[in-house]
Structure 1
Amino acid sequence: MAEVSLEVEAPIDAVWAVLADGWSYAGWVVGASHIRDVDAGWPKQGVRIHHSVGPWPFTIEDVTEVVRCEPNRLLELDARLWPAGAARITFTLTARSESLTEVHMAERVVRGPSTLMPNVVQDALLTPRNRETLQRLNALAKGRASG
């Protein structure tokens, strides 16, 4: 399981606001290139973001579905990317102060051909991507907090 953490320079409400805005997904998730639709009720359990992944014109259209949601604390997603498979991604938020939030991101491949890769290879591929994802989340949350 690829796990990364970052102390985000924003209050927990600002970080959650980014996670709870399905339309912002392509702005902070590395690889997501376009949001086609967000089901009403995001981020409630069972609700989906319909996204495209990859550079145009070679995009793949798929969905990410909420598995579990505890506002201001936890968001667990089932992120699909056919034909590679799907990953379970969990974001856990912990307030460190009024203006600092620790975000922990854990990702593991759960379905598809990517499960055949050894865990060490999966981690080597996912960890740098997930670090950048948290840096982008940090930037958006800081912007929401200051605006």
Structure 2
Amino acid sequence: MAEVSLNVEAPVDAVWSVLADGWSYAGWVVGASHIRDVDAGWPKTGTRIHHSVGPWPLVIEDTTEVVRCEPGELLELDARLWPVGAARISFALRPRGESLTEVRMTERAVRGPTTLLPKIVQDALLVPRNKETLQRLNALAQGRSTPFN
């Protein structure tokens, strides 16, 4: 399981507001290129984001579904990318101060050919991508927590 964490310079509410905004998904998830639709009620368990992955015109259309949601604390997703497979991804939030939130992101292949890759190979592919994902999440959360002048 690939695991990364980052102390995001924003309060938990600002970080959660990015995670809870399905339309922002392509803005912080590395590889997601377009959001086609977001189910009403996102991020309730069972709701989905319908997204495209990859550069145009070589995009793959698929979905990401909420497996577990504890608002302000945890979001667990089943992210599909067929024919590559699917991954279980979780974001755990922990306040570290009034305007600092630790975000721990874990990802593991759960279905498809990627499950056959050794853990060291999966980590080599996922850890750099997921570090960048958290940096993008950090930037959006900071933007949401900063009042406009």
**Same-fold call, TM > 0.5?**
yes
Identity over aligned residues, as a percent? 80
Q: What is the Cα-based RMSD across aligned positions, in Å?
A: 0.3
Runs of 4+ in 1 over 4 A off after TM superposition: none
Q: 2:60 maps to what in 1?
A: 60
1:85-133 residue CA offsets vs partner (Å, 9 max, x unmatched): 0000000000000100000000000000111111110000000000000
TM-score with structure 2 setting the length: 0.98
> Using the alignment, how far apart are the partners of 2:116 and 2:13 within structure 1?
38
CA distance in 1, matches of 2:117, 2:12: 35
Aligned positions, number: 147
How far residue 8 of structure 1 moved from its aligned partner, in angstroms, is 0.2
Cα distance in 2 for partners of 1:126, 1:5 equals: 13
Partner of residue 76, structure 1: 76
Partner of 1:116: 116
How far apart in 2 are the matches of 1:64 and 1:18? 16
Matches within 5 A, 1:18-97: 18-97=18-97
CA–CA distance in structure 2, aligned partners of residues 58 and 111 of structure 1: 22
For 1:136 and 1:110, the matched residues in 2 are separated by 25
Offset of residue 39 of structure 1: 0.3
Alpha-carbon separation, structure 2, partners of 1:30 and 1:2: 15
Cα distance, 1:13 vs structure 2 = 0.1
Provide the TM-score with structure 1 as the length reference: 1.00
Amino acid at match of 1:139: A
